Chain A
Amino acid sequence: MIKRGLAYAVLVLGCLIAIVPFAITTLASLKTMPEIVQDVLALPATPAWGNYAEAWEQGRFSRFFLNSTVVAIAVVIPSVVFSSMTGYAFARFRFRGSNAIFGYLLLGMVVPLQAMVVPLFYLLRELNMLDSLWALILPQIALSMSFGTLLMRQTFASVPKDIVEASVLDGASSWQILWQVMFPLSRPLIGTLGLLFFIWTWNEFLLPLVVNIDPDYHTLPVGLLYFQQRWTSNMPLIAAGATIIFVPLILIFMMFQKQLIRGLTEGALKG
């Protein structure tokens, strides 16, 4: 019984320490600077919603938010489609060079982005893609292939073979089997994969920092960094900017908590 109480106490404390910094940040975003200086933990007299309007318009968070959303969608969908196709090729067919190609695709998990990002900058410059959303989209699709292929191969390999055989007998082409049989059957895992791609893209910082100098093409993390540098001592505004970034993440997290935690921990076990 005592042990049980202790377990609860430890977990509550651990949760508080994890969550309180975000809560205090949101609190600060609703206050004025004098209110923060006076008592940082007190509630504001009236919520200063104006901070959000200012961050959203003058701070250009509307633009960063739009960029982040466009990039996330443009990365996640092709990444899921392409890795379903590569995963399917390895799971369903036996062909010359399959092991070599599989190993080749896993190369992306061994070499960190930090080692590729500088040459990537020069490559994108050759392609005239610097300072554009393409510079964020195409490389991140490519970076998704390693993990995606690994996961989808495993997922498709675990689809019972009777189902596939039955579809073959029904005269389904391999293309139809992929999209009409395998894909729907694996929906939970594909959902998780999409969520992971989304989080990784939404959070990516180094790539946009290096390849896009023009603030028109900044995503939220880079935007927040420059925003912080510009408004160093305007805490309410920085707090509002930070809140704009983490609220969508918290919402998605609350909606897909189980899938995300499982995906990220098992992704780590895999990766």
Chain B
Amino acid sequence: MRPHSPEPGVLAGEPAIVAGFTASSRRRAGPGWEPYLYLLPGVVVFTLFVVIPIVAALAISLTAWNGISWDTATFVGIDNYIQAFEEPRFWTALWHNLILIPYFVILPTILGLAPAALVHQMKLRGAALFQAGLFLPYIMPGVLIGVVWRWMLNPIFGPVNSVLEDIGFDPPTWLADFTWALPTIGFIGAWAAYGFCYVVLVAGIQKIPVDLYDAARLDGANGWQEFTAVTLPGLRREIAVVLTVNLINALRAFDVVKATTDGGPGDSTTVLALFMMNSLDGNRAGYAIAIALFLAVVTLVLSLAVLKLFGDRDD
């Protein structure tokens, strides 16, 4: 998925102004129209296929429209939003996203942090190989992850249940089970993300000055104290990033759900993005877009909150 950010650049430590090249060109009486020519192709494509859809989304969300002829569009104000808020299935779908958060966000962060802290600043043989192995699921398309796990967890001939049955368990039907389906999707999300978390966090740990650890040890800190006093504060930025990326994935979850359960059984795994896509079928374009915009705003607000809570902007 393309990266999304509530505040692009904040975490990158971007230079505020671009130094260097401008001096010489300024001396030649300003660059004139040249920079605009460089911007032209990118800005035109971007305006056509990103900005116009965004503006159209805002506009359509305020209309009742059958999605076919523009003549049928009537301005209804915030009716679509109100309709969504009055629809119990809308809240159920949002609730499902919230249930996914511990699985998509917290679980993989812990699963990545623990080995990262353990590996710490050890020089391990094959460290790059481990990183590659752990990172692999993260580059795979969500649909593929869904298809692979649907087959892994197939209750009749999937490998997971056949192994569990062999060692004497009586496993549930996972994705086909009303109680288990959503947590199972959660676990799949955690599986897809923990390697990414590990790689980001282990890189962060390597940037923490060794002196800090030496000082902590001189002060008589044990391993756990070292972890809470040096490692965790030193990783603030990386943890903020990992949490934000995972949170965005939890709130926007779509591909994996579509490929594993398509919202079922019943409505038990219908997340908001899926609910939005399904309501499109009823020719209610404005309504569907209102839900999508609501989701975008919720995502933005929550991820800004996480960044604010954990992000260390002083450096």
Contact = CB atoms under 8 A, between A and B. Distances in A.
Nearest to B124: A7
A96 to B, nearest CB: 9
Interface string B95-114: 00000000000000001001
Nearest to B194: A14
A202 B12 CA distance: 26
Contact of B18 (A11, A18, A91, A250): A91
Interface string B148-175: 1111101011110011000000000000
B206 interface: no
Contacts of A204: 141
Contacts of B162: 39-41
A89 B25 CA distance: 12
A4 B49 contact: no
Contact of B159 (A24, A89, A110): A24
Contact of A157 (B20, B199, B293): B20
Nearest to A14: B134
Interface stretch (B1-9, B80-88, B209-217): B1-9
Nearest to A229: B262
A29 B281 CA distance: 35
Interface in A205-224: 205-206, 209-210, 220-222, 224
Given A21-B152, A123-B53, A93 B35 contact: yes
A250 B136 contact: yes
B220 interface: no
A164 B21 contact: yes
B132 A257 contact: yes
Interface of A: 3-4, 6-8, 10-12, 14-15, 17-19, 21-22, 24-25, 28, 36-37, 39-41, 78, 82-83, 85-86, 88-95, 98, 101, 104-120, 122-123, 138-139, 141-150, 153-154, 157, 159, 161, 164-165, 168, 174, 178, 199-200, 202-206, 209-210, 220-222, 224-225, 228, 235, 238-239, 241-242, 245-246, 249-250, 253-254, 257-258, 260-261, 264-265, 267-271
Contacts of B200: 265, 268-269
| Interface majority SS (helix, strand, loop, mixed), chain A | helix
B52 interface: yes
Contacts of B122: 3-4, 7
A109 B3 contact: yes
A108 B51 CA distance: 8
Interface residues of B, number: 111
A265 B3 contact: no
B42 A149 contact: yes
B137 to A, nearest CB: 5
Contact of A112 (B4, B23, B132, B237): B4
A114 B296 contact: yes
A249 B50 contact: no
A40 B136 contact: no
A19 B4 CA distance: 27
Contact of B12 (A94, A112, A159, A270): A270
A118 B157 contact: no
B42 A115 contact: no
Nearest to A266: B12
Contacts of A19: 133, 136
A210 B285 CA distance: 13
Given A4-B124, A93-B25, A98-B35, 19 more contacts: A3-B118, A7-B122, A11-B130, A14-B195, A22-B148, A24-B152, A109-B4, A118-B280, A118-B288, A123-B52, A139-B49, A143-B50, A154-B14, A221-B142, A225-B147, A242-B144, A249-B140, A253-B132, A265-B203
A267 B241 CA distance: 10
A168 B199 CA distance: 42
Given A86-B43, A89-B38, A118-B288, A150 B8 contact: yes
A265 B201 CA distance: 10
Contacts of A225: 143, 147, 258-259
B262 to A, nearest CB: 9
Nearest to B111: A14
21 contacts: A18-B194, A25-B151, A86-B42, A89-B35, A94-B26, A107-B51, A108-B50, A118-B285, A118-B288, A119-B57, A141-B45, A150-B9, A206-B254, A221-B141, A224-B259, A225-B258, A235-B157, A246-B144, A257-B128, A269-B237, A270-B5
Given A14-B198, A154-B12, A114 B141 contact: no
Given A110-B300, A145-B50, A271-B8, A94 B115 contact: no
B292 interface: yes
A114 B280 contact: no
A22 B118 CA distance: 27
A51 to B, nearest CB: 13
Which 4 A-B residue pairings sit nearest by Cβ, starting from the closest? A271-B3, A15-B133, A142-B49, A119-B56
B309 interface: no
B34 interface: yes
Given A110-B8, A157-B20, A118 B292 contact: yes
Contact of B195 (A18, A114, A220, A257): A18
